[in-house]
Structure 1
């Protein structure tokens, strides 16, 4: 592993019984880089993240982590019984042993320090996402794993949240691994985009389209230049069983928004 690599995955395979859900995946997560993982439902995104977090053992292949690697995890959703009284302050204490000062620092990092004494049940979707992000930051992570962080947040909130994640990457000098379900939107700040459909279909940098008229018409909000459409080409397709079928040269497909 290089000095900047925090996790290196080599030829990873994960089987559930007879079903292979991750096939020959190799990638690395590097300090200071944002990696966005995209793909259709059932592509194995969550399975791959669980392997990165150490919650699943590979059937074959290797996952090499920096020694004592600190990982902060932000789940896609968190269901808390509405009959259970819980303030943001008490909720943050479930992440790690931390005092009020640490909690306020984490909330300040996500611009949500005014929420400390509020009930988690009174928070808006965007506020809850920020609290979940603050909770992950209490671990002072070297790797921050975010499962669809913009879920349930309106487009203005998404722009703010993506900008916030980029600032946190800079502040903590951490790696970020982010799952995105909406293939039409990928952060322009993303350093690496990985398209997964059990195996890595393709990977690369997002394209900048901030001056495209159709892009401006679609988003039409301040700060939308911080998002970019991402399109890329596949040299194969999948049959009904999910197996790879090569395409003829004139059939190469663009997967910009169709996965």
Structure 2
């Protein structure tokens, strides 16, 4: 993707947390209306990359460039809420700034949570709360929506339903989507591009190409490969075919492949 067309772009990122290197030489970008999924084992820097992209983490080297005035929506991996807070969903969406009831209802509908407006936050299931947090992010009318493992804890049908909702959001709002996930069998098939991360970019490209890449198989094995056709995302975008590999000298020989359960 050319620098000119990217909504947000990172170049040469190096990030350490607590003195431990997390990201090294990472280049990453997302273009208009693209769905990009970031996959990788635990500790590979996926969440750190997202937090660096939104400006919550400062890199030691490299930089992040955003288009002027770019609106971002961020859904964190987990939102810590005090269960004793006497808040219903509609009021929660109006904090810390007042937002019209119509806008809040529209955001809930887009997030697939239109029936939850009057429910107390403390009474929501994990999946319901995640959709409400998604609605909150949509109130920013984001041009790039970033989601950090948004279906963590959901079963496979729930995960598939959530990502179909994300495609609806992309279609209706015309926003790009960047999401971190372990759920390769659902997410990869719904993505325009997949980035495999393990401290650096191991491999990236179309889902089918990444699933065949040696770097990807070294990390995850081959158990999820056959399921890519379960949920096919149709789109009219044009992308560069194939999978591009970097030439970082890091070896994956010591990385334990994910089990089938971990891959899901």
What does residue 172 of structure 2 align with? 171
Q: Is the 8 A contact 1:29 1:175 kept in 2?
A: yes
CA contact (8 A) 1:13 1:23 kept: yes
| 1:201 partnered with 2:207 | no
TM-score in terms of structure 2 length: 0.78
Structure 1 runs of 4+ aligned residues shifted over 4 Å read 232-237, 253-259
Maintained 8 Å contact 2:13/2:61: yes
Q: Deviations over 1:48-99 (max 9, x none)?
A: 1111011112111121111111111111222222222110011111265311
Q: Which runs of 5+ in 1 are unaligned?
A: 238-242, 248-252
Post-superposition Cα deviations, 1:29-66, rounded to whole Å, max 9, x if no partner, equal 11100110111111111111111011112111121111
Q: Which has the higher strand share?
A: 1
Q: Match for residue 22 of structure 2?
A: 21
Query: Residues 34 and 218 of structure 1: is their aligned pair in 2 closer, same or farther, counting only changes over 3 Å?
Result: closer
Residues 1:246 and 1:131: Cα distance change in structure 2 (over 3 Å): closer
1:45 paired to 2:46: yes
In 2, Cα distance between equivalents of 1:41 and 1:164: 26
Counterparts of 1:181-192 in structure 2 under 5 Å?
Answer: 181-192=182-193
Tell whether 2:110 aligns with 1:109.
Answer: yes
1:149-168 superposed matches below 5 A: 149-168=150-169
Q: Supply the RMSD in Å over aligned alpha carbons.
A: 3.3
Q: Which ranges of structure 2 fall in alignment gaps of 5 or more residues?
A: 212-222, 234-242
| Structure holding more helix per residue | 2
Alignment match, 2:251: 245
Partner of 1:36: 37
Instruction: Report the equivalent of 1:225.
Output: 231
Secondary structure of the 2:162 match is helix
